[in-house]
Amino acid sequence: MIKLSDLGQVYIVCGKTDFRKGIDGLAALVKEQFELDPFSGKVFLLCGGRRDRFKALYWDGQGFWLLYKRFENGKMNWPRNQNEVQALSSEQVDWLMKGFSISPKIKNTKACGFY
């Protein structure tokens, strides 16, 4: 499993992202809508409408990486506030990669992260 938190600070872009966008479109979204630097070496996680997959955008100093993960069973409990970006702890990133809820208020059980 790829450990995204080893790459740098991970941010979750809340809400629904148009997954037809590629690297350039996602980098523009991060820069223009959220006023963050996509070239900063931080990881940006974005989710489409289906909530069973997400994309991770990462600049490594030489080029962008675009990682795509699709869960085979269930859907994620992805935050839906369209105008928000949240920094995640490494623990929250690990929870998300395993399909659990990232909310610290909810005990991490499969039932909380997927429905």
Q: Does the pLDDT value for residue 64 go beyond 90?
A: yes
What is the layout of strands, in order, in the sheet containing 53-59?
Answer: 64-70, 53-59, 43-47, 10-16, 85-88
Please tell me the least confidently modeled range out of 14-28, 69-83, 98-112: 98-112
Q: In this predicted model, what pLDDT tens digit does every residue of 72-105 receive, in sequence order? A: 887 777 777 767 888 999 999 888 877 777 775 5
Q: Does the pLDDT value for residue 107 go beyond 50?
A: no
Q: Is 10 strand, coil or helix?
A: strand
Higher pLDDT, 57 or 52: 57
Q: Is 25 strand, coil or helix?
A: helix
Q: Give every CB contact of residue 85 below 8 A, 6+ residues apart in sequence.
A: 11, 12, 13, 14, 34, 36, 44
Report, as an integer, the average pLDDT of 9-35.
93
pLDDT given at position 80: 74
Q: Does the pLDDT value for residue 114 go beyond 50?
A: no
> In the chain, where are the structural domains located?
4-113
Residue written as token pair 């990682």: 67
